[in-house]
């Protein structure tokens, strides 16, 4: 399995990762979804603290996973998404 370097930006911070090539699209999509949700929250509320926005985004994603669905990506298999999010968190922990 070939590993590739990837830099993703989440909440304005860059995270360098080394990932399997086949994980690239999923990781980019997850980062885009997180960033999109943060922008939505910023537009809806007067919250400026990025940690608060990240916490609310994490809470919303966790609730969607527990409820078994997401209106924004109905074709994604939830157990696979859960595993992918866990992998991303592990890679971010390693990068930090």
SS3 of 88, please? helix
Question: Two tokens at 55?
Answer: 């916490």
Q: Is the distance from CB of 14 to CB of 8 less than 8 angstroms?
A: yes
pLDDT band at 75 (very low <50, low <70, confident <90, very high): very low
The predicted-structure confidence for 5-28, as pLDDT tens digits, reads as follows 999 999 999 999 999 999 999 999
The predicted-structure confidence for 47-68, as pLDDT tens digits, reads as follows 889 999 999 999 888 888 888 7
CA nearest neighbour of 53 among 36, 32, 30, 78:
36
When the pLDDT of each residue in the chain is averaged and rounded to a whole number, the result is 82
């Amino acid at each position: 399995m070939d590993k590739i370097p990837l830099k993703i930006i989440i909440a304005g911070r860059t995270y360098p990762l080394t990932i399997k090539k086949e994980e690239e699209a999923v990781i980019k999509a997850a980062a885009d979804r997180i960033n999109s949700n943060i922008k939505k929250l910023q537009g809806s509320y007067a919250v400026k603290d990025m940690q608060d926005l990240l916490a609310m985004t994490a809470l919303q994603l966790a609730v969607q996973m527990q409820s078994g669905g997401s209106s924004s990506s109905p074709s994604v298999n939830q157990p696979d998404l859960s595993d992918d999010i866990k992998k991303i968190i592990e890679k971010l922990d390693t990068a930090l």
